[in-house]
């Protein structure tokens, strides 16, 4: 592999670009120790030593540190490592380490996420956010079947918090309120059903 460029990332680290499209981050002291220079070849044995002695361990340390602040999915952790210029081999190694020691489990993450947000977010919004975090559509569907989201209760709570009186609202006011709920992911059918129903014996929402 040829070292095509060495670019500073900060005062202590630099990005080493190999063969024009493969990059990894090393401390400046490590670059000097391994005699890495622009335009020079990086021997395979040297690269393997860097990978096994430095990058694999550092990737594990990095993901463990990231998990201290908050739970994350596999996709989120992979992106964090990729953004930090960790090679694919180091990323795979770190993720497998976490799975082996049961530090990450996307389905468990999804269940905790739904349990926490089921009274605050619509089913559609939860589906979107979990899939964006890397969970499959099928996994999210299964989780939501296990932990149903009571959207009607959320809409009634919205009506109370906003101090709305659906029966006294003008058509334009009702449209604005329903549009706001629609932007939160609630379906027209569910919103309309709540707005058109009675809540409580006195008919108040």
Is the pLDDT at 174 greater than 60? The verdict is: yes
Q: What is the pLDDT of residue 169?
A: 83
What share of the chain has pLDDT > 90, as a percent? Answer: 82
Q: Average pLDDT of 37-57? A: 96
- CA–CA separation, 129 vs 100, rounded Å? 26
pLDDT digits (tens, 9 = 90+) for 77-105: 999 999 999 999 999 999 999 999 999 99
Distances (CA, A) of 4 to 15, 39, 41: 11, 6, 9
- 144 neighbors 123 (Cβ within 8 angstroms): yes
Taking the complete model, does pTM exceed 0.85, yes or no?
Answer: no
CB 83, CB 51: distance < 8 Å: no
Q: What's the confidence (pLDDT) of residue 202?
A: 40
């Amino acid at each position: 592999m040829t070292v095509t460029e060495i670019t500073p990332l900060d005062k202590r680290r630099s990005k080493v670009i190999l063969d024009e499209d493969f990059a990894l981050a090393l401390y400046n002291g490590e670059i000097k120790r391994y005699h890495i220079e622009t335009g020079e070849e990086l021997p395979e044995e040297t690269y393997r030593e860097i990978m096994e002695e430095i990058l694999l361990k550092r990737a594990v340390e990095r993901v463990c540190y990231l998990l201290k602040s908050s739970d994350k999915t596999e996709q989120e952790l992979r992106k964090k490592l990729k953004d930090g210029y960790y090679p694919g081999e180091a990323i795979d190694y770190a993720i497998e380490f976490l799975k082996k020691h049961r530090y990450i489990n996307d389905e468990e993450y999804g269940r905790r996420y739904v349990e926490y947000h089921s009274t605050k977010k619509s089913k559609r919004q939860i589906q979107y956010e979990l899939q964006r975090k890397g969970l499959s559509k099928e996994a999210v569907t299964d989780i939501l079947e296990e932990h149903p989201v009571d959207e009607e209760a959320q809409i009634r709570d919205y009506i109370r918090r906003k101090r709305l009186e659906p029966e006294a609202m003008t058509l334009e006011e009702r449209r604005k309120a329903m549009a706001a709920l629609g932007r939160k992911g609630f379906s027209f059918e569910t919103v309309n059903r709540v707005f058109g129903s009675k809540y409580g014996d006195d008919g108040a929402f």
